């Protein structure tokens, strides 16, 4: 389910950003990203995203990330290794999988991630998990 079609879009305060490869929704302590169909998410796109996030949140904010995988796309799993750097804006992530294939891919990505990464079957499960993170309470 797309974030804007979910009940969470009515209950959460957010700002929407649209880039040529995705849409994402900026909340207080996390953001939800929906990558467009058929995109290959790579280092160039990650850098565009991080620049945009730092522009909105500043350079000292830490966030959780929810990948709402409503579309079929590919991602370079090595990108998860970036987030072990000291200057990383991300402290945790959740991947929402609606298909078995994306859940299997999320298993691989979890192995590559140096930050906590939760695999979720629904957007609600992912949002609840990030809202309960100790870093935000």
Mean pLDDT by runs of 10 across the 137 residues of the chain is 97 97 97 97 94 92 95 88 71 92 84 88 96 86
Q: Do residues 94 and 126 make contact, with C-beta atoms less than 8 angstroms apart?
A: yes
CATH of residue 12's domain is 3.30.750
- The number of domains in the chain is 1
3-state helix, strand, coil in the chain (%, to 5): 40, 30, 30
Give the per-residue pLDDT at 22.
Answer: 98
Residue range of the domain that includes 12: 3-136
Residues in the chain: 137
Rounded CA gap, 103 and 105, in Å? 5
Q: Which residue has the tokens 């957007």?
A: 123
Give the per-residue pLDDT at 8.
Answer: 97
Residue 10 has a CB neighbour count (10 Å cut-off) of 7
């Amino acid at each position: 389910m797309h974030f804007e079609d979910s009940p969470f879009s009515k209950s959460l305060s957010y700002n929407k950003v649209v880039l040529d490869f995705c849409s994402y929704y900026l909340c207080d302590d996390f953001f939800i990203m929906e990558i467009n169909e058929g995109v290959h998410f790579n280092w160039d796109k990650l850098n565009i995203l991080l620049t945009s996030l730092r522009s909105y949140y500043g350079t000292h904010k830490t966030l959780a990330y929810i990948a709402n995988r409503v579309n079929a796309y590919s991602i370079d799993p090595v990108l998860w290794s970036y987030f072990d750097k000291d200057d990383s804006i991300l402290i945790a992530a959740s991947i929402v999988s609606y298909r078995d294939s994306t859940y299997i891919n999320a298993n691989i990505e979890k192995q590559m991630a140096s930050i906590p990464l939760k695999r979720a079957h629904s957007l609600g499960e992912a949002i609840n998990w990030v809202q309960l993170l100790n870093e935000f309470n």
